[in-house]
Structure 1
């Protein structure tokens, strides 16, 4: 059976701009275009706003993420949900000794880098755009160039939509849009996070609350780390950071494989840690594997491809460094501003101008992620990271 083809044209009033991905980056761009009265459509593979793992807590930075929310007219909505009390970063060694306790706001109310759950931030952004602009359950299979160089979108459903003036890839690490711009792919860092949760019903919860309280705590011991992060509901996410082969932890974890994973973590990665730290491995639940990938630094040098643009992780996937969502939301600001400046009849020039700074930002972002990853896994344990923070390198 032939696949369905939907042609975008002025006569059918189909949007000139397609955004692939309804994460914070894509939705920030959508909101900004909405305010500029530029038509668009957002395609998202999730079936709904609540159908996927929403991720953990995000710290939103003043000059980028917060500035983007202000420009989007969403600052008041953000303030109602932001957790300034969780703007706290502590560092411990594997024996539980504290080496750093800091806040980025210097004790000033509503300053610094407040936290917000990713799902909450996403909902704020979703509530700011018309529901009909989001096409849920739309998994992009490929981007092709049809009709005099205009991009066409092929979906796994068999449908093809063509005729857009610009397709913006905010579709994350394994971006289908990026593959039409550059053949560079993310590379495995050699590190994996095993994510788990400690809920209020967990026997470990009270001791975690008493020891770590608000914010994010990092326990560092060279090749192995633990990161304990408070969430908006008061629970904690724990990230067990290990140096391991790419597929060391399976994607699907049943009860038997979780127990095997616990034993492996305790014997192979945390055998000499304090017993209270080992209790995280013993008692945390809802395990999930998160191998850490990043784009090569040298990937930030592509030539503009007419009809296509990238933003967020699709453009500059980096190792965790606290900047990812902030950098992504600022990409949206810069792209929207360039579109407003150049207009819909000059979108290629708008993208070309946007990419000049994007590639510079992206290179720095990837480099920062690599640097922080090296500090987090430094052979001296907490010492290297603490020194970097004290010298304001981060």
Structure 2
């Protein structure tokens, strides 16, 4: 295969949005993705897509009509409870920030670029600068590629492209979400669908929040917030996730024993498909690196933040702004385009990192009142995922 002008590392929403925009602008590119095929069943929750960011990017991609076929406008509602089950706030009905499953958003974008533009089964293991000062990419399958005018790391929290630009590394927040599912065949499903209904329910109390969110197929994804070490659920830890019954027992005895309602405890008793989501973040001070010819970052690779409702929207905005800069200056001046993109991206990154830390502090609080004040002031719901986690 010939070396493309631009290499995009990672076929998540950020990388694929960039790919589609470059396709529309007639700029050569290829996407390198670790999954073996587009049918890989990678986990991912539901995302709310905002009008001035994610929706705008989809409009520029010419994909807004395709998006609307899957967009769930009835899932914009957000309810806020305390641990006893008392509702303190419900907002978001009719808000222009519809939900879509991450898998569906990815497929819309994949379908909009030629099949031969995605190089499946390419797990990036390292990126170095060659003798010409431009990136050289090494993949786990033995492929080594160079000669790009630009490599864009859209490869998430643990980006292998990031070390080309900065020594910044994500730091653990001391907080983890333990994700679980209530599927359609669960004995709890009918009761939960009546009590929770559409949208997202956030329950705050005792520093251990519970988030329940309806998915596109009607099932519910639940996140149990835990202030634990990053390796708490790893092999050799207190309990392994492969023992679901022990995991449920741990949650009920150590974290949600006191004061949580029976409805909340039922979520634990019927939880399945556990996986962990430790919350890492870059720092606001990391948003200032010296430009490196031929390389840049976007999305979580650039400005990993803790959940704050903006993850995927900000990533898609990065893709839109970078594509616009490249089209404006041309590939012959691509380093200038990247410098301008990065200078505009840094303030966005600083803001989302700071907001993520503040939001997580409130989410892991003792009671929902600070959340009531925030949501009453802004009237906005939350993004059910990290974005490119």
What's the TM-score, normalizing by structure 2? 0.94
CA RMSD across the alignment? 1.5
Q: Partner of 2:226: helix, strand, or coil?
A: strand
In the aligned structure 2, how far is the partner of 1:358 from the partner of 1:251? 38
In the aligned structure 1, how far is the partner of 2:168 from the partner of 2:195? 43
Does 1:35 find its partner at 2:35? Answer: no
Does 1:175 find its partner at 2:159? Answer: yes
Q: Which residue of 1 aligns with 2:387?
A: none
Q: Which residue of 1 aligns with 2:274?
A: 287
In the aligned structure 2, how far is the partner of 1:100 from the partner of 1:360? 32
Tell me if structure 2 keeps the 8 A contact 1:90–1:218: yes
Tell me if structure 1 keeps the 8 A contact 2:248–2:271: no
- Mark the CA change 1:134 to 1:259 in structure 2 (over 3 Å): closer, same or farther: same
Q: Which residue of 1 aligns with 2:206?
A: 222
In the aligned structure 2, how far is the partner of 1:177 from the partner of 1:183? 11
Q: Which residue of 2 aligns with 1:55?
A: 44
In the aligned structure 1, how far is the partner of 2:45 from the partner of 2:38? 15
Q: Partner of 1:298: helix, strand, or coil?
A: helix
Q: 2:121 aligns with which of 134, 137, 145?
A: 137
Q: Which residue of 1 aligns with 2:174?
A: 190
Structure 2 portions without partners, runs of 5+:
381-389
Q: Which residue of 2 aligns with 1:378?
A: 365
In the aligned structure 1, how far is the partner of 2:358 from the partner of 2:11? 29
- Mark the CA change 1:137 to 1:13 in structure 2 (over 3 Å): closer, same or farther: closer
Q: Partner of 1:213: helix, strand, or coil?
A: coil
Alignment deviations for residues 335-354 of structure 1 (CA, whole Å, 9 cap, x no partner): 00000011111111100000
CA drift of 1:95 comes to: 0.9
The size of the alignment, in residue pairs, is: 377
Alignment deviations for residues 213-272 of structure 1 (CA, whole Å, 9 cap, x no partner): 000000110310110000000000000011111111127997763222111111111001
- Mark the CA change 1:255 to 1:192 in structure 2 (over 3 Å): closer, same or farther: closer
Tell me if structure 2 keeps the 8 A contact 1:17–1:39: yes
Tell me if structure 2 keeps the 8 A contact 1:86–1:214: yes
Q: Which residue of 2 aligns with 1:389?
A: 375
Tell me if structure 2 keeps the 8 A contact 1:250–1:289: no
Q: Which residue of 1 aligns with 2:4?
A: 15
Q: 2:316 aligns with which of 324, 329, 346?
A: 329
In the aligned structure 2, how far is the partner of 1:222 from the partner of 1:28? 39
Map 1:1-394 to 2 at 5 A: 13-103=2-92, 107=94, 112-250=96-234, 257-272=243-258, 273-379=260-366, 381-392=367-378
In the aligned structure 1, how far is the partner of 2:40 from the partner of 2:280? 24
Alignment deviations for residues 152-175 of structure 1 (CA, whole Å, 9 cap, x no partner): 111111220011110000000000
Structure 1 portions without partners, runs of 5+:
1-11
CA drift of 1:393 comes to: 8.1
CA drift of 1:52 comes to: 3.8
Alignment deviations for residues 154-199 of structure 1 (CA, whole Å, 9 cap, x no partner): 1111220011110000000000000111111001011100000001
In the aligned structure 2, how far is the partner of 1:86 from the partner of 1:347? 41
Q: Which residue of 2 aligns with 1:8?
A: none
CA drift of 1:91 comes to: 0.5
Q: Partner of 1:185: helix, strand, or coil?
A: coil
Detail structure 1 runs of 4+ shifted over 4 Å in the superposition. 251-256
Tell me if structure 1 keeps the 8 A contact 2:80–2:203: yes
In the aligned structure 1, how far is the partner of 2:102 from the partner of 2:235? 22
Q: Which moved more, 1:72-81 or 1:147-156?
A: 147-156
CA drift of 1:301 comes to: 1.0
